[in-house]
Amino acid sequence: MEGIINVLKPTGMTSSDVVVWMRRILKIKKVGHTGTLDPGVAGVLPICVGKGTRLAEYITEQGKAYLAEVTFGVTTDTQDAFGKEVHQTKPDLKQSDLERVIPNFMGKILQIPPMYSAVRKDGKHLYEYARQGLSIERTPREVFIYNLKLVKWYEGDLPRAILDIECSKGTYIRTISHDLGQVLGCGAHMSNLLRVRSGPFRITDSWTLEEIEAAVGESNYEFLLPLTAGIDLPRVFLSSARASAFRHGLPTNRNLVQTPTDGHETYVQVIEDGKLIGIGVWRGEDLFPHKVLG
C-alpha cells in the first residue's frame, strides 16, 4: 500500500494523533504527516503512506491556504485563542482601517516567530523557554504572502475579521493576526483557523476520519491517491532503459528524456509507465537522480 491521503483533520487532535489513527485503520506502520497542524486547527493534512513517506519533505515545502478569524482588541501570549489574555481594549476600529493596512502584509515579509512555537534556539524549542516565562531574542524569518483578502467583517466591541490567506511554507498565521493588531494600535489574536489547501490538496476533496474508516470497512481505497498527486513539480518521462539507469544513480541526457516541459525547471517528477519512480534534478543538460523511490 502506497500513496497520499487528503485528510480533513478535526480540532482536538494533533497531527501525530492522526498518523497513529491511520496506522491502526490501515494496518500499516509506514505512515507520516506532511507538516504539523496545531490541535486547535482543523483542515487539510496530507498523510503519506508506504513509499509516499519519502515524499513528505516535498509536500511540506509547498504553499498553503487558510481561512483565519482575527479578533481585534485582545492580545494573548500565544497569539491565538488558546493562550492567556495579555491585554484587552475596546478598539475604535472600522473595516476601512483594516483594508488600508492589508496591502502592507502582501508579498515578501519578515515574521518574528512566536515564543510558543517549535522553532529551535540554542538546542531548545521556543515554547520550552516560553513555559519558563522567558522571552528571548528571535531572528526574523522571510515568508511570502501570495494573497491576503478580507472575506467578512463583524462589528462589535471586539471587531472580528475573516481573512483568506495564501502563503509560503513556514508562515505563522497567528503572527499575521498579532502584527495586524500591532499596526492598527489595538492588538489582535487569531481566534480561529481552518487550513483549506496544502500544496495541490484542497479541503473540498478531503476525507474525514469517519469517511476513511467506513471506506476501509468496505474495502474501498479510493481515498488513497497516487504518489504523483502530491507533488506540484513538472513531470518528465523515461523509457524503461533510462528508468533503470535512474534507479542505479546514473544521469540521463536531455535528448533521451521524454518530457513535455521546457527543461528550465530544477527539480522534476520522474515517471515510468505512469508511475512515479523518483525526483530528478537537472544539472546542465543531464537529469540526475535526487531521490529514488523504486
Q: Is 122 designated active site?
A: no
CB 121 within 8 A of CB 114: no
Residue 72 to residue 177: CA distance in whole angstroms: 9
In 10 A of CB 77, how many CB atoms? 17
Rounded Cα gap, residues 201 and 6, in angstroms: 6
In angstroms, rounded to a whole number, what is the distance separating the alpha carbons of residues 128 and 195?
26
Active-site pick, 38, 77, 164, 286 = 38
Angle (nearest 5°) at CA 62 between 98 and 136: 60
Cα 236 to Cα 219: distance, rounded to the nearest angstrom: 33
Q: Which cell goes with 180?
A: 495586524
Q: Kindly report the backbone phi and psi dihedral angles of residue 93, in degrees, each rounded to the nearest multiple of 5, phi listed first.
A: -125, 135
Q: Closest Cα to residue 272, out of 251, 243, 245?
A: 243
What residues pair up with 70 in beta bridges, in sequence order? 161, 190
> CA distances (Å), 142 to each of 19, 113, 145, 174, in order?
30, 10, 10, 15
Location of C-alpha cell 475573516:
162
CA–CA separation, 45 and 33 (whole Å): 7
Residue (of 109, 111, 132, 129) closest to 120 by Cα position: 129
CB 271 within 8 A of CB 227: no
Which pairing describes strands 42-49 and 31-33: parallel, antiparallel, or unpaired? antiparallel
Active site residues: 38
